[in-house]
Amino acid sequence: MTGPLLVTGGSGLLGSAVRELHPQGVFLGSEDGDLRRLDVAKALLEKIGPSKVLHLAGLVGGVKANAAQNSRFLEDNMLINTSVLSAARALRIPRLVSILSTCAFPMFSDRATTEDDLQAALPYDGSAGYGYAKRMLDLHTRLAVKDEGLAWTTLTPVTMYGPHDSFHSEHAHVIGSLIRRCWSAKTTGTPYVVWGSGRAVRQFVLARDVARVALDALDRHCEPTTTIIAADSGITIHSLAEAIADVMAYSGPIVFDRTQPEGVLIKRVQSACFASRFPGFQFTDLKNGLAETVRWFLKHASSAETASATPLCGAFADRNDHV
């Protein structure tokens, strides 16, 4: 099958990273069509005629937004995923890679979660709608592979960051919001405030690294079961805040606001199959990734609070509560 690579969610954080590596693809944002609608998904796929699909579109938010609108996260993501996979199945698109989330997985206090745990226990209640939509995306992928012999798979990155992220102080993911807050503290003399105790442990991966894995996955035979993408075993929010201060040459105080939520204290995943499926892959070190992200922020987003926020951020506030 000939035809371009089609990227749904092509205007988002990960889609922008894919575009930099593979600009000849076709990149769709929500203004190109509402993928919650099957007729729209079918029409777009028929018109574009892709040979491969990288399905990134989704309604993405943090703990507060998910908890407040769990049913909307379930509905929108179920509709988007079902429409895209159903349209791609009808057209027998041979290669399709979708993105799950660690929110689909249960977390354990005494060990890291692996791919085998996906259906082992309930996911975190506060994002159950988003998490179950991702579980259904995993199931839909595996069934399409089994029924139709298509070479589809899914990837599960930990929290992504990088250029093109949102840097809103309240609505961005944790790294984007901390960069914004640190920059504001440095330039205005106001406190560098970090939500929560700082003890929460989170894992981060540069969006470009995930984009490299995703493009590779489209070109090689992958098992239909998901692959977790985690660059390391994680960092406390306290250490992350200090690392950002270091990169931004901020030497003032860091204030931890314990009245704000920080989600599950320890959220740790580990892939049982990444090394064998993507041998030799080298992740970008967090410090270098932060330095690159800060450079991009200073060039593109530092002057306007909402300069790089996605439209969804306005509707789904509080993404920085350590998803």
Ligand X SMILES: NC(=O)c1ccc[n+]([C@@H]2O[C@H](COP(=O)([O-])OP(=O)(O)OC[C@H]3O[C@@H](n4cnc5c(N)ncnc54)[C@H](OP(=O)(O)O)[C@@H]3O)[C@@H](O)[C@H]2O)c1
- Binding of ligand X by 9 (CB under 6 A): yes
- Closest approach, Cβ 222 to ligand X, in A, equals 17
Q: Which residues contact 23 (CB under 8 A, 6 or more apart)?
A: none
- Closest approach, Cβ 231 to ligand X, in A, equals 13
Residue 163, amino acid: P
Encoded tokens for 242? 């200090």
- Closest approach, Cβ 248 to ligand X, in A, equals 21
Which residues within the stretch 133-162 sit at the binding site for ligand X (CB under 6 A)?
Answer: 157, 159-160
Compare residues 15 and 126 and give the one whose CB is closer to ligand X: 15
Please give the angle made by the CA atoms of 21, 153 and 218, to the nearest 5 degrees. 30
Exposed (0-12), middle (13-18) or buried (19+): which is 216, by Cβ within 10 Å?
A: middle
φ, ψ at 163 (rounded to 5°): -55, 150
- By Cβ distance, which residue is nearest to ligand X? 12
Give the number of other CB atoms < 10 A from CB of residue 208.
21
- Closest approach, Cβ 11 to ligand X, in A, equals 4
- Closest approach, Cβ 133 to ligand X, in A, equals 9
Compare residues 255 and 266 and give the one whose CB is closer to ligand X: 266
> Could you tell me how many residues make up the chain?
323
Among 6, 14, 53, 231, interactor with ligand X by CB under 6 A: 14
- Closest approach, Cβ 70 to ligand X, in A, equals 15
Sign of the dihedral through C-alpha 47, 53, 54, 58: positive
Compare residues 13 and 240 and give the one whose CB is closer to ligand X: 13
Spatial distance between the Cα atoms of 246 and 171, rounded to a whole number of angstroms? 23
How many residues at the interface with ligand X, by CB under 6 A? 28
Of 71, 58, 79, 67, the C-alpha closest to 11 is: 58
- Closest approach, Cβ 253 to ligand X, in A, equals 28
Instruction: Name the one range near ligand X by CB under 6 A: 10-18, 110-118, 232-240, 247-255.
Output: 10-18
Among 69, 70, 101, 293, interactor with ligand X by CB under 6 A: 101
Which residues within the stretch 19-48 sit at the binding site for ligand X (CB under 6 A)?
Answer: 29-31, 34-36
Beta bridge partners of 227: 155
- Binding of ligand X by 12 (CB under 6 A): yes
Listed as own residue / partner, the contacts of 131-134 with beta carbons closer than 8 Å and 24 or more positions apart are 131/101, 131/103, 131/104, 131/105, 132/74, 132/104, 133/73, 133/74, 133/76, 133/77, 133/78, 133/81, 134/77, 134/100, 134/101, 134/103, 134/104
Give the number of other CB atoms < 10 A from CB of residue 199.
13
- Binding of ligand X by 58 (CB under 6 A): yes
Compare residues 72 and 142 and give the one whose CB is closer to ligand X: 72
Which residues within the stretch 292-311 sit at the binding site for ligand X (CB under 6 A)?
Answer: 310-311
Compare residues 214 and 254 and give the one whose CB is closer to ligand X: 214
Encoded tokens for 86? 């159903």
Which residues within the stretch 60-89 sit at the binding site for ligand X (CB under 6 A)?
Answer: 60, 80
**Which parts of this chain interact with ligand X (CB under 6 A)?**
9-15, 29-31, 34-36, 56-60, 80, 99, 101, 157, 159-160, 173, 310-312
